[in-house]
Amino acid sequence: MAIFESEPPVQPRSFSVERASVARRAGISAAVGTGIEFFDFTIYAYLATTIAPLFFAAHDQMVGLLATLGVYAIGYIARPLGAVIFGRLGDQRGRRPTLLLTVTLMGVATALTGLLPTYATIGVAAPILLTVLRIGQSIAAGGEIGGAAVLVAESAPRKRRGILGSSTSLGATIGATLAALVVGVVSLLPGHALATWGWRATFLISVPLLIVCLIYRLRVEESPIFQQMVAEHTPVKAPVSGVLARRKKGLLKVALITFAVTTTGKLSSLYLVVHFAELGYPVSVSVWFAASFTLASATVMVYAGHLSDQWGRRRIMTIGFGGFIALAIPAYLLMDVNLIAAAVLVLILNLFHGLNLAVYFTAFAEQFPNEFRYTGVALGYNLGSVIGGVAASLVATALVASTGIAISPSFYIVFAAVIGLATLGTLRDRSQAEL
């Protein structure tokens, strides 16, 4: 394919106005691409109750909802496969062309979801097509955010790697927030508008987002480090084998920290839509709260990235996980007593989440050598996301059901934060080292 034709290798350049421009474009393209990824992935979660009767047999509403959520879970499980496929391409053919491919596949799969005929029109083919598109979107997503983080880290100068690297998570957070806002607005439509055409409109928003992302990505240069690497030696043939042979512990640490960040973040934002509903608050109120919580984490990211260039990534994440350990249980205790006070505490929790999100991708990129960095970051992150993303809501719901304690999800938040903190203690902080 032309997209994977190798660019002529160039000698590494010293930091200059040109290099600053290269790094800045890489950061913007990463933010836009991961924004699309998380918009596409999150929109499905918010629309699960709307999609269920449209794509699955309507005689049993609960079965339809469970099937819809099952397709959502399959999306997480498919992501490590995407990490392997696109990690290999990224380490062999280049970061830039691989990221052009991942974002295109994600956007097309999401747009096609918005055009799918429903169960009433084509019967059992509807849920099958929905599942196929969801899997395709998820496989592409498995190679997106890790590769975007690598491209930014390799394009940025050492002293600005943290602040530019925060763009990856900033885009993801804004994408998830946009998903909540879009669903919140569409849910205000009169009558059956959401079930007839409103849900389609939310998926089709990915089309203009994809066009904007492609415009930015086509302007981004290949990573200078990757160009230097291919100029000096042939890329590795089996990057997954290289990761498992030489960086197995690093892969495990990345997965565990991702599990901790994903779990603490999800139970402090998305899951609260369910939790608030169980406490009797309207779903529309819950969605707007979730959007506010998610957006709160974005407000500290750039500053946290800047601080990590001075203090180190590990110190910033230590503060983040420490905040969850201290405040998760009090926040949940207040939810059934005073909604405003609870919302303030949860907003603070999401500020701590923003500290973790801002720096962990840059820290991950610093754990692997050039020849299989894309694979290492993408695979470790997606393995952790499967555990954290799929298990978080299931474990939280099971804890409430089995114990009868409404605040029991907060215990799981503390558990995940302790895992993250313990793993951080074994992670090398390479924020002051050249890649």
Q: Is residue 241 part of a domain?
A: yes
Q: What is the pLDDT of residues 126-179, one digit of tens each?
A: 888 988 898 999 899 999 999 999 999 999 998 999 999 999 999 998 888 888
Q: Which of 380, 349, 351, 386 is nearest to 363 (CA)?
A: 380
Asked if pLDDT for residue 299 goes beyond 50, the answer is: yes
Q: Is residue 270 part of a domain?
A: yes
- pLDDT of 40 reads 83
Range of the domain at 282: 17-424
Q: Which of 128, 135, 116 is nearest to 72 (CA)?
A: 135
Q: Is residue 111 part of a domain?
A: yes
- Rounded CA-CA distance 363/369 in Å is 13
- pLDDT of 296 reads 82
The number of distinct structural domains making up the chain is 1
The confidence band for 434, taking pLDDT boundaries of 50, 70 and 90, is confident
Q: Could you report how far apart the first and last alpha carbons of the chain are, in Å?
A: 30
- pLDDT of 273 reads 67
Q: Which residues of 220-239 are buried (b: 16+ CB within 10 A; e: fewer)?
A: bbbbbbbbbbbeeeebbeeb
- pLDDT of 9 reads 45
Q: Is residue 330 part of a domain?
A: yes
Q: Is residue 81 part of a domain?
A: yes
Burial of 330 (0-12, 13-18, 19+ CB in 10 A): middle
Q: Supply 74's token pair.
A: 């399959």
Q: What is the pLDDT of residues 332-377, one digit of tens each?
A: 888 777 777 777 888 888 999 999 999 999 999 999 999 999 999 9
Quote the distance between the C-alpha of residue 159 and its chain's center: 25
CA distances from 408 to 209, 332, 340, 356 (A): 38, 8, 20, 23
CA distances from 276 to 106, 308, 424 (A): 31, 34, 32
Q: What is the pLDDT of residues 247-292, one digit of tens each?
A: 999 999 999 999 999 999 988 877 776 666 666 666 666 677 777 7
Q: Is residue 11 part of a domain?
A: no
- The number of C-alpha atoms within 13 Å of 336 and in the hemisphere containing its C-beta is 10
3-class SS letters over the chain:
CHHHCCCCCCCCCCCCHHHHHHHHHHHHHHHHHHHHHHHHHHHHHHCHHHHHHHHCCCCCHHHHHHHHHHHHHHHHHHHHHHHHHHHHHHHHCCHHHHHHHHHHHHHHHHHHHHCCCCHHHHCCHHHHHHHHHHHHHHHHHHCCHHHHHHHHHHHCCHHHHHHHHHHHHHHHHHHHHHHHHHHHHHCCCCCCHHHHHHHHHHHHCHHHHHHHHHHHHHCCCCCHHHHHHHHHCCCCCCHHHHHHHHCHHHHHHHHHHHHHHHHHHHCCCCHHHHHHHHCCCCHHHHHHHHHHHHHHHHCCHHHHHHHHHHHCHHHHHHHHHHHHHHHHHHHHHHHCCCHHHHHHHHHHHHHHHHHHHHHHHHHHHCCCCHHHHHHHHHHHHHHHHHHHHHHHHHHHHHHHHHHCCCCHHHHHHHHHHHHHHHHHCCCCCCCCCCC
- Rounded CA-CA distance 22/18 in Å is 6
Q: What is the arithmetic mean of pLDDT over 33-60?
A: 78
Q: What is the arithmetic mean of pLDDT over 31-42?
A: 87
- Rounded CA-CA distance 256/272 in Å is 23
- Is the CB of residue 228 less than 8 Å from the CB of residue 11? yes
Q: What is the pTM of this model?
A: 0.89
- Rounded CA-CA distance 234/252 in Å is 27
Q: Which long-range contacts (CB under 8 A, 24 or more apart) does 195-200 make?
A: 195/50, 195/53, 195/54, 199/47, 199/50, 199/51, 199/54, 199/114, 200/114, 200/115
Q: Is residue 92 part of a domain?
A: yes
The confidence band for 15, taking pLDDT boundaries of 50, 70 and 90, is very low
Q: Is residue 182 part of a domain?
A: yes
Q: What is the pLDDT of residues 170-198, one digit of tens each?
A: 999 888 888 878 887 887 777 678 778 88
Other beta carbons less than 10 A from residue 428's beta carbon: 12
Place of tokens 């100029």: 231
Residues 6+ apart with CB under 8 A from 225: 12, 154, 370, 435
CATH of the domain at 44: 1.20.1250.20
